[in-house]
Chain A
Amino acid sequence: MNKKRLLSVLLSAAMVAGTMAVAVPAYADDTEEITWMFWDDLEATEDLVSKGYKDVIDRFNTEYEGKYHVTPITTNLEEYDGKLNALIAAGQTPDVYICNPGPNMDVYVNAGAAADLTDILENQEKDWYATFTDGIFDRLTYDGKIMAVPTNFAAACVYYNTELFEKAGVEVPTTYDELIDVCKKLQDAGITPISCSAGTAWCLSMIAGYLCDRSGVDLQAIADHTANWTDDNCIAAGEKLKELSQYFQETAAGDSNDQATANFYNGDAAMLVQGSWAIAQINGNNSDFQSKCGVFQFPGIDGANDPNRMIVKTDNLLMSSTTEHQDAAIALMKMFTDEEAQKYTAEVAGKFPIIKDLDIDYDKAPAQLKYVQDIMDKATGTFGFYNESLASVEAGDCFDNAMVDIFLGNQTPEEAFQTVQDFYEENVWE
């Protein structure tokens, strides 16, 4: 029985491979081995932020050689939470792991998978704590306990093509009415005013989030149920979204985020509303574009809310509540937030540092970073992406979907916000 012999050979080969796999890699006895989980592969990535993280990991392993060693566990973004959940459920929580702010982080904090860092930051590592930008921990604090350390933040702005603006003879708008006017003139000049993806719901939702905030929607009041999703300011924001969406590219309904961004850097549309991570993507794909890509803050609405509030988002590191190598984990988190790493974040990756008094060389950095920084300096307040600021991930999706329905014309703003209201009545307020 030739087949059988082949089978048994293969099987035993597999078994041997398996036993070898279980064996722990041999390091010097006193090296503390930790793991760090992340949502992008560090070797193959083209993402500049991820590349910066890889530098940090390499630096950590060199600097602490013989003392600490970190092994990254990577997945892609889609499978990240699935794998992290499985690891936590099996008691193999990675020592340090990355997480989005808001409801996603709530899940890990509420499940007790994240360590309370308050004591470490406020008492044991005072100097480190003092380096952080004021207020940066606000969204990472639960009942007075700091549960995560940020590594960078991104701000959402409007990017515009200066060449196309000149061609149509328009200026940067500062109010919503001016924005509509600019859109009209661009359209008359045969230029697509705004590139947006409704296929990737959060892109549309970013514009909706700005419109809501500019109209004076108060998420905290909604969370406390002292305000409703069916209030006038929500409906007004919905109407404006509907109005603005007439000026999106024809294919907005089907374009993915990548396509919408490409539309902009290929010069097919005059404006793009995106997070500052897009800077690297735009310049990377079309290096000639840097000189003609300007930035302005999302226009305000006359007689409504403060127009200087910005949507921002941090990337955050959580430490496992069950880690046996706290010192190594803290050392790693420190390295993510040290001057070298933060300088890279700003000068190369196009995101913002989370530490104070950093001397950024704006000549090295992409031109747009300075523009965004100038806007940030004027900012009077920040708020999160709407889909990451609601009661749960599901509530965020519900909001996103309602906005897509307004855009597609399936529902009037009243109907769409009524669905969000119903969701809150059913699942949040009770």
Chain B
Amino acid sequence: MDKILRNKKAIFIFIAPALIMFVLVLVIPMVQMVYYSLCDYAALTPPKFSGLANYKKLFFKDATFKIALKNSIFFMIFSAITQQVIGLGLAVMLTNIKKGRNLFKNIYYLPSVLSSAALGLLWAFMFNPKIGINNLLAQFGIKGPLWLMDSKGFIVLPMWVIAFVALWQYVGQNMMLYMAQITGISRDIYEASYIDGASKTQSFRYITLPLIKPMMVTSLSLNCIGSLKFFDLVYNMTQGGPNHRTEVLATELYAEGFNYFKYGYASAISVVLLVMCLIVTLLVKKVIKVETYEG
């Protein structure tokens, strides 16, 4: 067996197609991106090398970048905690019910399939100062806040709103990942534990949790990377406004590159984003240790 698994030629054949495409389409432009981040580059004119000037401006002078960084980190922490807990919770609930499991699962996954542009518009109507939620609150004599335009506090209200909408939209994905893993756990194990007198809570704690640990790493990493790179809902609901207060890293780099034509600067933000993603994934891997089955 061991010999089969060390077959160099087979490894090469298995890896090569993905690797070749990956290098040609992703890695080379990525290297270019890193180079552009060291340049004064406007896409239409050739890049001029400018050393660390972009990074210096980014970290020492750019107030918007600080807001974007703060919002992105907030968004990542919020998403990671809420989506994991609720996603896992839903998965456990759904695997434990008998009727309508698929129906509920399909419904909860639904928003992930819908286009963010349409959902952004829906929620913009929903959080409009008069119609939508505030109209509902007015019936009870409560004056609702400016959901998407308020600008007070360390994390502004619109950022919380977007974070909750994102939770609503994407929690289905985490649920799906966990369900896939839980349904994969052999039912014999549970049967055996119940015969031994274990309660449902105990079987969750001692069987489900350890067995879904690999999925936890996967789901959490995807979650963190996805929320650091998050773009769609912010762009469609507030476009980073009012006055950059809901800017996240991805929307800022979009504005710098596509509206202000500062590709070099946008590349520098991308590099920062990439490094943050890397650090977070490595952290996730370190914190949740997984023993793999060795064959």
Chain A residues within 8 Å of B, Cβ to Cβ: 81-82, 85, 88-89, 107-108, 110-113, 198-199, 201, 250-251, 253-256, 259, 392-394, 397, 401-402, 404-405, 408, 410, 426
Residue of A111, A259, A392, A426 touching B45 (CB-CB under 8 A) = A111
Residue of A81, A199, A254, A402 touching B258 (CB-CB under 8 A) = A81
A/B interface sample: 13 pairs, CB < 8 A: A107-B42, A198-B149, A199-B148, A250-B129, A251-B130, A253-B146, A253-B149, A254-B146, A254-B148, A254-B149, A404-B241, A408-B146, A426-B61
Q: Which residues of A contact B45 (CB under 8 A)?
A: 110-112
Q: Which residue of B lies closest to A410 (CB)?
A: B151
B258, chain A: closest CB distance, angstroms? 5
Contact across chains for B259 and A253 when beta carbons are under 8 A apart? no
Chain B residues within 8 Å of A, Cβ to Cβ: 42-45, 61, 124, 127-131, 146-149, 151, 241-244, 255, 258-261
Q: Which residue of A lies closest to B146 (CB)?
A: A253
Provide the bound-state CA to CA distance between A404 and B242, in Å: 7
Residue picked from B130, B241, B243, most chain A C-beta under 10 Å: B243
Q: Give 6 nearest A-B pairs by CB, closest first.
A: A111-B44, A401-B243, A251-B129, A253-B149, A251-B130, A254-B129
Contact across chains for A405 and B243 when beta carbons are under 8 A apart? yes
Provide the bound-state CA to CA distance between A198 and B151, in Å: 14
Provide the bound-state CA to CA distance between A178 and B244, in Å: 35
Q: Which residues of B contact A88 (CB under 8 A)?
A: 43-44
Contact across chains for A108 and B44 when beta carbons are under 8 A apart? yes
Q: Which residues of B contact A401 (CB under 8 A)?
A: 241-244
Looking at chain A's contact residues, the main secondary structure is helix
Q: Which residues of A contact B44 (CB under 8 A)?
A: 85, 88-89, 107-108, 111-113
Provide the bound-state CA to CA distance between A254 and B129, in Å: 6
Q: Which residues of A contact B147 (CB under 8 A)?
A: 254
Provide the bound-state CA to CA distance between A256 and B120, in Å: 13
Contact across chains for B151 and A82 when beta carbons are under 8 A apart? no
Contact across chains for B241 and A251 when beta carbons are under 8 A apart? no
Q: Which residue of A lies closest to B260 (CB)?
A: A394
Contact across chains for A254 and B261 when beta carbons are under 8 A apart? no
Looking at chain B's contact residues, the main secondary structure is loop
Q: Which residues of B contact A201 (CB under 8 A)?
A: 241
B218, chain A: closest CB distance, angstroms? 25
Provide the bound-state CA to CA distance between A405 and B150, in Å: 11
Provide the bound-state CA to CA distance between A253 and B258, in Å: 26
A84, chain B: closest CB distance, angstroms? 9
Contact across chains for B260 and A405 when beta carbons are under 8 A apart? no
Contact across chains for A393 and B261 when beta carbons are under 8 A apart? yes
Provide the bound-state CA to CA distance between A256 and B147, in Å: 14
Contact across chains for B243 and A404 when beta carbons are under 8 A apart? yes
Q: A253-B149, A401-B242, A408-B149 are in contact. Are A85 and B43 (CB under 8 A)?
A: yes
Q: Which residue of B lies closest to A416 (CB)?
A: B243
Contact across chains for B260 and A82 when beta carbons are under 8 A apart? no
Q: Which residue of B lies closest to A201 (CB)?
A: B241
Provide the bound-state CA to CA distance between A85 and B128, in Å: 35
Q: Which residues of B contact A198 (CB under 8 A)?
A: 149, 242
Q: Which residue of A lies closest to B238 (CB)?
A: A199
B39, chain A: closest CB distance, angstroms? 14
Provide the bound-state CA to CA distance between A423 and B277, in Å: 31
Contact across chains for A410 and B129 when beta carbons are under 8 A apart? no
Q: Which residues of A contact B146 (CB under 8 A)?
A: 253-254, 408
Provide the bound-state CA to CA distance between A404 and B238, in Å: 13
Q: Which residue of A lies closest to B243 (CB)?
A: A401
Q: Which residue of A lies closest to B255 (CB)?
A: A397
A199, chain B: closest CB distance, angstroms? 7
Provide the bound-state CA to CA distance between A88 and B43, in Å: 9
Q: Which residues of B contact A107 (CB under 8 A)?
A: 42, 44, 261
Q: Which residues of A contact B261 (CB under 8 A)?
A: 81, 85, 107, 393
Q: Which residue of B lies closest to A259 (CB)?
A: B128
Contact across chains for A392 and B260 when beta carbons are under 8 A apart? yes
Provide the bound-state CA to CA distance between A122 and B130, in Å: 56
Provide the bound-state CA to CA distance between A253 and B147, in Å: 10
Q: Which residue of B lies closest to A392 (CB)?
A: B260
B20, chain A: closest CB distance, angstroms? 15
Q: Which residue of B lies closest to A79 (CB)?
A: B258
Q: Which residues of B contact A199 (CB under 8 A)?
A: 148-149, 241
Q: A198-B149, A404-B242, A410-B243 are in contact. Are A250 and B258 (CB under 8 A)?
A: no
B38, chain A: closest CB distance, angstroms? 18
Q: Which residues of B contact A256 (CB under 8 A)?
A: 124
Q: Which residues of A contact B255 (CB under 8 A)?
A: 397
Q: Which residue of A lies closest to B151 (CB)?
A: A410
Q: Which residue of A lies closest to B132 (CB)?
A: A254
Q: Which residue of A lies closest to B263 (CB)?
A: A85
Q: A81-B259, A254-B146, A256-B124 are in contact. Are A405 and B242 (CB under 8 A)?
A: yes
A200, chain B: closest CB distance, angstroms? 9
Provide the bound-state CA to CA distance between A394 and B244, in Å: 12
B133, chain A: closest CB distance, angstroms? 11
Provide the bound-state CA to CA distance between A140 and B110, in Å: 50
A256, chain B: closest CB distance, angstroms? 7
Q: Which residue of A lies closest to B256 (CB)?
A: A394
Q: Which residues of A contact B259 (CB under 8 A)?
A: 81, 393-394, 397
B196, chain A: closest CB distance, angstroms? 42
Provide the bound-state CA to CA distance between A108 and B124, in Å: 34
Q: Which residues of A contact B260 (CB under 8 A)?
A: 392-394, 397
